[in-house]
């Protein structure tokens, strides 16, 4: 069953965030994932959720997403995202 990482982020330091933007695609490819939505500004239809930018990444299965999140080589890059954005991240399973 496919799994998805859904990221809601606001960039606070675009200059610092450029490193993340430049390097994250290689890690996405390494873990058999692909972008479904890449950094677009969403339109709120209902409720008070007002994300600035959204990213959705598809994985062939949950274990691939967990491997991506735990990859020691990417932890420094995650730290860049943590230091340059305000973000929320969830992992969800797709439908069968």
pLDDT tens digits, one per residue of 14-59: 999 999 999 999 999 888 889 999 988 999 999 998 899 999 999 9
* Domain ranges across the chain: 3-52+62-93
Give the per-residue pLDDT at 33. 87
Q: CATH top-level class for 3-52+62-93?
A: alpha beta
Question: Which tokens is 65 given?
Answer: 């997403």
Contacts 24+ apart (CB under 8 A), 36-41: 36/4
Residue 86 pLDDT more than 80? yes
Q: Where are the strands (E) in the chain, listed by range? A: 3-11, 34-40, 53-59, 85-93
Pick the closest to residue 88 from 59, 43, 52 (CA basis).
52
Model pTM?
0.90
Give the per-residue pLDDT at 32. 82
Residue 61 pLDDT more than 90? yes
């Amino acid at each position: 069953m496919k799994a998805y990482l859904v990221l809601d982020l606001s960039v606070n330091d675009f200059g610092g965030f450029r490193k993340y933007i430049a390097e994250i695609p290689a890690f996405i490819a390494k873990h058999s994932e692909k972008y479904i939505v890449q950094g677009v500004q969403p339109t709120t239809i209902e409720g008070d959720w007002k994300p600035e930018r959204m990213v959705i990444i598809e994985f062939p299965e949950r274990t691939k997403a967990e491997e991506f999140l735990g990859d020691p080589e990417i932890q420094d890059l995650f730290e860049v995202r943590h230091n340059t954005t305000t973000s929320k991240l969830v992992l969800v399973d797709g439908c069968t």
